[in-house]
Amino acid sequence: MERRPPGRRAPAHAYAPAGAHAPGAAAPYGHAAPADRADSGEHADPFAPGDATDTADHWVRLPLFPFGEDRLRAALPSTMTLAEGRWDAYVALGEDEPQRLRPGLLDLRSLGERDPSAHRTWLGVRIPYAARQGDLAVRAWLRWPHAELQELRVADGGMSLRGRLFGAPLDEGARLEARLRSGAECVTAGVREAPGGGTGFSATLPFDALFDASDAALHAAAPADGTRAPRVWDVWLRPSDGTAPVRVGRILDDVPDKKRTVVYPSHSAAAGTATPYYTRDNDLAVRLQSPPG
């Protein structure tokens, strides 16, 4: 597999550099071989046929093995880390040029049942999917700590969210932080620990606080069509005073690109419209749009 540079779309036809050995991850005739389905890094894949090789975070080469009649199989071990990003899958047979792969049936039902162990030291997630041109790709995340969003509700002029924190304890000073992407402003909200302790948390972020904090930017000179540029706030969780903030997102399921598929309701007020959404990396953000005029 080849890691796709950020911002580059999957090509309709792509080849490895001259002399390079592209990885194999599927069978001939366009059938996708059974894949390591987005392991969270807890256990090695018991069916992994040999070792994989990671080359400077850009290439992963996997050996192909016979798998039934007229099929080959490659497996990506769950103990192997993939750099965060989008990976394009190729197959190289003999001296032939590496070719992009077409996915077969992707059974991702097991991805919704994962519960990462509290004793882990890293969280790696992989979700196979069909890219825009129909080729096989893998979306990978590599995070630690990680704040997983489990539920979000828009009501009463704000958004209430519930989630779990992996890799760090919640302590005194824990808070939710919304940071203006185009500025230095930061709006905070208190975090409540889930009943019984553990890693669960909840918080409520009022949209009025976001509008107030970005009022000067939102009411800057409007373009000729009367609209105002939207302002985006990225959502973080700071586990305690003195610790680094952790991005809030949702990656422990089977949806590789929530920006296109998950839609939350908007909240309308005199100051404008606030809409929670997922970024291309499945991280949580809020877009504020001022009314025209």
Question: Which CATH number fits the domain that encloses residue 150?
Answer: 2.60.40
**Rounded mean pLDDT of 194-221?**
79
Boundary residue ending a domain (121, 144, 167) = 144
Contacts of 270 (CB under 8 A, 6+ apart): none
**Rounded mean pLDDT of 181-193?**
91
For residues 199 and 228, membership in a common domain is answered with yes
For residues 252 and 138, membership in a common domain is answered with no
Q: Which residues pair with 201 in a beta bridge?
A: 163, 193
For residues 151 and 89, membership in a common domain is answered with no
Examine the pLDDT at 138 and tell me if it is beyond 90. yes
Instruction: Please state, in angstroms and rounded to a whole number, the distance separating the CA atoms of residues 74 and 34.
Output: 8
Counting residues of the chain whose pLDDT is more than 70, the rounded percentage is 72
**Total number of domains constituting the chain:** 2
Which of 139-161 are b and which e, b meaning 16 or more Cβ less than 10 Å from the residue's Cβ?
bbbbbebbbbbeebebeeebbeb
pLDDT of residue 45: 31
Q: Among residues 146, 180, 177, 178, which one has the least CA distance to residue 163?
A: 146
Examine the pLDDT at 42 and tell me if it is beyond 70. no
84 pLDDT band (50/70/90 cuts)? very high
- Owning domain of residue 70: 1-144
Q: Which residue has the higher pLDDT, 15 or 271?
A: 271
Judged on CB neighbours under 10 Å (0-12, 13-18, 19+), 96 is: exposed
Which of 93-102, 108-117, 229-238 holds the top average pLDDT?
229-238
For residues 2 and 83, membership in a common domain is answered with yes
Cβ(2)–Cβ(88) below 8 Å: yes
Instruction: Please state, in angstroms and rounded to a whole number, the distance separating the CA atoms of residues 285 and 255.
Output: 17
Boundary residue ending a domain (93, 127, 144) = 144
Q: Which residue has the higher pLDDT, 70 or 163?
A: 163
For residues 181 and 264, membership in a common domain is answered with yes
**Rounded mean pLDDT of 219-228?**
50
183 pLDDT band (50/70/90 cuts)? confident
Boundary residue ending a domain (96, 112, 144) = 144
Q: What is the pTM of this model?
A: 0.76
